[in-house]
């Protein structure tokens, strides 16, 4: 049986993952406005991946006979300076999410909740990937600087990202 503390913490994480989806979708809209369709595609797929993360927690709560309580989702921050600013915010955001996942794992250990520890190990690995990818994009954008041809090429590269969300929900 899932403890009340763990149930509440997982519900908070569902909200945080749904906020992440909203956060990325808002950035995708900014890139569409700036005629950067490749970055918009990457961010849109990231938003779908975040929704898939929320659903992993949602399904897990049901599997453990917990109660899902959906709360209000905060408004995402807007007013980006440029595409580098967008991805610097992505990296900071993912670092915060990593801290949340780590806190959830710490709670699962304190509660002797072994199934939650196993479930959270997937997210711990996922956060390593999320931070690594965001940092790579920040570094690439820093190298590109004001060179519009290089930015155009990066935009084309991110336009080739394919949907992984469906794959992740099935894991």
Taking each helix axis as running N to C, give the angle between helix 4-33 and helix 83-110, from 0 to 180 degrees, rounded to the nearest 10: 170
41, 8 Cβ separation under 8 angstroms: no
Window 59-98: residues binding ligand FEO (CB under 6 A): 94, 97
Tell which one of 88, 113, 130, 155 touches ligand FEO (CB under 6 A). Answer: 130
- Residue-level length of the chain: 171
- Using CB under 6 A as the binding rule, whether residue 120 contacts ligand FEO is answered as no
- Using CB under 6 A as the binding rule, whether residue 155 contacts ligand FEO is answered as no
Please identify the residue of the shown chain whose CB is closest to the bound ligand FEO: 53
Size of the site for ligand FEO (CB under 6 A): 7
- Using CB under 6 A as the binding rule, whether residue 13 contacts ligand FEO is answered as no
CA atoms in the 13 A half-sphere facing the CB of 19 = 19
Q: Closer CB to ligand FEO, residue 7 or residue 49?
A: 49
The alpha helices in the chain, defined as continuous H runs, are 4-33, 37-63, 83-110, 114-144, 148-158, 165-169
DSSP state of 81: S
Tell me the closest approach of the beta carbon of residue 14 to ligand FEO, in angstroms. Answer: 11
- The residues that touch ligand FEO, with contacts defined as CB under 6 A, are 17, 20, 50, 53, 94, 97, 130
């Amino acid at each position: 049986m899932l403890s009340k503390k763990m149930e509440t913490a997982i519900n908070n994480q569902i909200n945080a993952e749904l906020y992440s989806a909203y956060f990325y979708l808002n950035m995708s809209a900014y890139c569409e406005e700036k005629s950067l369709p490749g970055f918009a595609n990457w961010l849109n797929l990231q938003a779908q991946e975040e929704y898939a993360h929320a659903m992993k927690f949602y399904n897990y709560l049901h599997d453990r006979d917990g109660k899902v309580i959906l709360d209000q989702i905060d408004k995402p921050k807007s007013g980006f300076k440029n595409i580098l600013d967008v991805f610097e915010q992505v990296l900071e955001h993912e670092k915060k999410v990593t801290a949340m996942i780590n806190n959830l794992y710490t709670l699962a250990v304190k509660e002797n909740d072994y199934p939650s520890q196993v479930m959270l190990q997937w997210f711990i690995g996922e956060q390593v990937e999320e931070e690594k990818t965001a940092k790579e994009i920040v570094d690439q954008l820093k190298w590109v600087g004001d060179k519009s041809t290089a930015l155009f090429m990066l935009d084309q590269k991110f336009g080739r990202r394919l949907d992984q969300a469906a794959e992740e929900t099935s894991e």
